[in-house]
Every structure is written in C-alpha cells, then in structure tokens.
Amino acid sequence: MAQARASMRLTINNFDRAKNIFEKTAWNTLKKMGMFLVAEAKKRCPVDTGRLRGSIQYYLSKIWGKNYLTIGATAEYAIFVHEGTRKMRKRPFIKDGIIENIGKLQEIAAREYENNISGR
C-alpha cells in the first residue's frame, strides 16, 4: 500500500509541475503578444503631438484563473480617434494592428509553447 501512495504522489507532483509550466508559458506568451501589438498599434497610430502614440500600452491580468491581455491607449481622446466621430473618420490603429497580424500572433504562441514545453 505504501508503494501505491508514493506512486500517486509522484504523478500528482508531475501534474503540478506540468500545470505550472503551461501557466507560465501562457503568461509569457500573452506578454510577448502584448509587446508586439503595442508596437504594431504605434506604427498605425496617427501622430500630431505623439501623446496618443505614447499612451498605447498593454495590460496583463488574471481573473478567476483566466489570463487576459488588454491593449489600449490612455489618452482621453483615444476612443474618438480610434472609433471616429460625426466630423472625423475613424482610424482604428489598435484593431487593425490585431486583425492584420493574426498569423504573426499564432506564430508567437506556437514558438513560445514549443520552446517552453520542449525545454529549450
């Protein structure tokens, strides 16, 4: 009976280790995606003074065990530039940066998982 307990404990420890590797990899993947998307949004951002472009950031959060990546701009007029108004056409610099780079985001995720899971 003692041997079965030791075997079960080993299996649980390996599961915990694998779970930790996946969680760390997921967090690092979102972090790299965030840095990439901020750079892409800044490339597409219209510039007058540079304040809007300088306010583009990403945030990582964990809510109820799920990881979230948020890309945004903190300049108070960012929403008006991004979504437009009656008198100004929209210039969706964040949305376009995401949509036009779906393939690149998939590559980032695949590379991160391959490197971290295989132990490179």
Torsion region of 117: left, alpha or beta (phi above 0 gives left; psi -120 to 50 gives alpha): alpha
The DSSP bridge pattern shows strands 66-73 and 56-63 to be antiparallel
Residues 6+ apart with CB under 8 A from 63: none
Give the total residue count for the chain. 120
* 113's tokens: 């998982």
Closest CA to 56 of 80, 69, 39: 39
pTM above 0.75, yes or no: yes
Residue pair 7/102 in contact (Cβ under 8 Å)? The answer is: no
So what's the pLDDT on residue 120?
Answer: 54
Question: What confidence score (pLDDT) does residue 99 get?
Answer: 95
pLDDT in tens, the chain (120 residues): 445 454 445 555 677 777 777 888 889 999 999 999 999 999 999 988 999 999 999 999 999 988 999 999 999 999 999 999 999 999 999 999 999 999 999 999 999 888 877 655
